[in-house]
Structure 1
Amino acid sequence: MSDLLHLWGIYLGTLIGLLPIINPLSAGPTFLAITEGDSDERRREQALKGCVYMVAILVSFLIGGTFIMTFFGISIPGLRIAGGILVTGIGMNMLLAPRADAASEAAQQEAARRKVDISFSPLAMPMLSGPGSIAVTLGFTSLATSWIDYAAIIAGIITVALLTYSVLRMSGSLVRFIGPVGVNAMTKIMGFMIMSIGVQFVVNGIVGIATDPVLLRSIKDGLAGL
Structure 2
Amino acid sequence: MILRCNTGGTRTDNFAFFIYAFSSLFAIVSPVGGVITFVSLTSDMSLDEKNYLASKSVILACIIALFFAVTGQIILNFFGVSIDSLRVAGGILLFVVAFDMILAKVSRESVTEKEIDISMERSDIWIFPIALPLLTGPGTITTIIVLMGSAVSVLQRGEVIAAILLTFLITGVLFHFSRRIYKFLGYTGMLVFTRLMGLLLAAMAVNFITIGIWNIYLSFQ
What range is the shorter-chain TM-score in? 0.7 to 0.9
Q: Does 1:191 align with 2:198?
A: yes
Counterpart of 2:142 in structure 1 is 135
For residue 8 of structure 1, report the CA deviation from its aligned partner. Answer: 2.1
CA distance in 2, matches of 1:99, 1:131: 15
Equivalent pair of 1:36/1:113 in contact (CA under 8 Å): no
CA distance in 1, matches of 2:208, 2:116: 34
CA contact (8 A) 1:77 1:208 kept: yes
Correspondence 1:125 to 2:125: no
CA distance in 2, matches of 1:98, 1:152: 31
Distance 1:164 1:62 in 2: 18
Residues 54-63 or 7-16, more deviating: 7-16
1:7, distance to aligned residue in structure 2 (A): 3.1
Task: Specify the code of the residue in structure 2 equivalent to 1:15.
Answer: F
Query: Equivalent residue for 1:153?
Result: 160
Residues in 2 aligned to 1:27 and 1:167: alpha-carbon distance in whole angstroms: 9
Separation (CA, whole Å) in 1 of partners of 2:118 and 2:87: 36
1:211 match: secondary structure:
helix
Report Cα offsets for 1:30-76 as digits up to 9, x if no partner: 21221122221221111111111111111111221111221222222
Match of 1:2 in 2: 4
Residues in 2 aligned to 1:91 and 1:78: alpha-carbon distance in whole angstroms? 20
Aligned to 2:150, the other structure's residue is in SS state coil
1:65 corresponding residue in structure 2: 72
1:73 and 1:98, CA in 2 relative to 1: closer, same or farther beyond 3 A? closer
Change (3 A) 1:121 1:99: closer
1:2 maps to a residue whose letter is R
Shift of 1:194: 1.0
Give the percent of matched residue pairs that are identical in Structure 1 and Structure 2.
28
Output the CA distance in 1 between the equivalents of 2:152 and 2:115: 42
Shift, 1:175, TM fit:
1.2
Q: Which runs of 5+ in 2 are unaligned?
A: 6-10
CA distance 1:97–1:51, shift in 2 (3 Å): closer
Contact (CA 8 Å) 1:87, 1:132: kept in 2 or not? yes
SS at match of 1:81: helix
Q: Partner residue of 1:24?
A: 31
The 1:67/1:108 distance shift into structure 2, 3 A limit, reads: closer
Number of residue pairs matched? 210
Query: Is contact 1:44–1:169 with CA below 8 Å preserved after alignment?
Result: yes
Higher helix share: 1
Give the Cα–Cα distance (whole angstroms) in 1 for the partners of residues 172 and 147 of structure 2.
23
1:181 paired residue number: 188
Q: Does structure 1 conserve the Cα–Cα contact (< 8 Å) formed by 2:116 and 2:129?
A: no
- The answer (yes or no) to whether the contact 2:94–2:201 under 8 Å persists in 1 is yes
TM-score, structure 2 as length reference? 0.86
Find the residue that maps to 1:2 and give its secondary structure.
Answer: coil
Q: Which residue does 2:82 correspond to in 1? A: 75
Structure-2 residue corresponding to 1:54: 61
Structure whose alpha-carbon radius of gyration is higher: 1
RMSD (Å), alpha carbons: 2.1
Name the structure 2 match of 1:115: 122
Secondary structure at the aligned position of 1:141 is classed as: helix
